[in-house]
Copies of this chain bind each other. A is one copy, B any other.
Amino acid sequence: MHYVVGVDIGGTNIVVGTVAEDGSAVHGVRSAPTHAEEGPEAVLGRIARLVQVSMAEAEKAAGIPRRNIVGVGIGSPGPLDRKRGMVLLTPNLGWRDLPLRQLVSEAVGLPATLDNDANCAIYGEWWVGAARGTRYVVGLTIGTGIGGGIVLDGRIYHGTSDVAGEFGHTTIDSTGRLCKCGNYGCLEAYASGPAIAARAAEGIASGVDTRLPEMVGGDLSRLTAQTVYEAASGGDQYALEVVRDTAKFLGIGVGNIVNIFNPDLVVIVGGVTMAGDQLFTPLRSEVKRRAFKPAVERCRIVPGVLPGTAGVVGAAATFHHRVGDEP
């Protein structure tokens, strides 16, 4: 059996793993902080070391010989130029026109492919996760930002210049909240991790009754979406309200996806899925209210089932299933 090392580059962490060509196993999952502020060379060095460690661990723990590892699949924030293997621009990492595919390939001595991180995560869920066996799947990756991936007939849909799937920057409220991108009312401005925390903090500032300030020692700058989910799980009514509002906003975004793509499945990946049914029940209700019945009836809306590794598995899958525009 052949293996590929999947590399998932995020703003906070890099995660790698050695993935079987049939998706049946992931060995040597390792992660390290990205520390993008140290510059691309430092990050590349870290990626190369993590890849080596993962391959060594796969050999040690599962007896996978190095010669069976045939390549590296890289998932990176974009925008990218896949054909040239370039990262054009990543505000979070500070990269610009970086030939990432070639640099990683040279550093580890294996051929490599490059795709968008969100595409990889959704492709991973399609390959061996929550969207397995579906024909048309659209996914959202919710973290610091909101990314998206579109898999149609088992292939990632990239659009004409690899920018497709930017659901985080679709408008759901044209005169609404200011987004980091400079526009008003983007889905990301309501339902990304930082946006969830910001909305919660606004309510606290207006004097609502909640345990949230106590949970962060009175320092609201430490408030995260995770704090909100934990408080909601503990029965904090205000935190529950913030989760329900999040569900409503995501429901509007997913409702748009359902009316546009009429997919078999929408998969939601990222920390927000920790909120569980408290999120998914009102989210599905909002979609049902907003989208067309014959589309809603055919669409399941589910959390991802590969937390932490969807991006790694999907990045490896893009190498396994490469179709020719990469070397």
Contact = CB atoms under 8 A, between A and B. Distances in A.
Interface of A: 79, 88, 135-136, 148, 150, 152, 157-167, 169-176, 183, 185, 248-249, 252, 255-256, 259-264, 289-292, 294-295, 297-299
B171 A256 contact: yes
Nearest to A138: B260
30 contacts: A79-B294, A135-B160, A136-B160, A152-B152, A159-B261, A159-B295, A160-B264, A160-B298, A161-B262, A161-B297, A161-B298, A162-B294, A163-B295, A166-B259, A166-B260, A166-B295, A169-B259, A170-B259, A171-B252, A171-B255, A171-B256, A171-B290, A172-B173, A173-B173, A173-B175, A173-B185, A174-B176, A174-B248, A174-B249, A174-B252
What is the total number of copies of this protein in its complex? 2
B159 A262 contact: yes
Task: Report which residue of A252, A260, A294, A297 has the largest number of chain B beta carbons within 10 angstroms of its beta carbon.
Answer: A260
Nearest to A256: B170
Contact of A292 (B163, B173, B176): B163
A297 B161 CA distance: 9
Contacts of A167: 259-260
Contacts of A165: 260
Contacts of A164: 260-262, 295
A249 B136 CA distance: 29
Given A159-B262, A174-B172, A262-B158, A292 B166 contact: yes
A109 B163 CA distance: 47
Nearest to A184: B290
A262 B292 contact: no
A161 B294 contact: yes
Contacts of A262: 158-164, 166
Contacts of A135: 160
A150 B157 CA distance: 13
Contacts of A170: 255-256, 259-260
Contacts of A259: 163, 166-167, 169-170
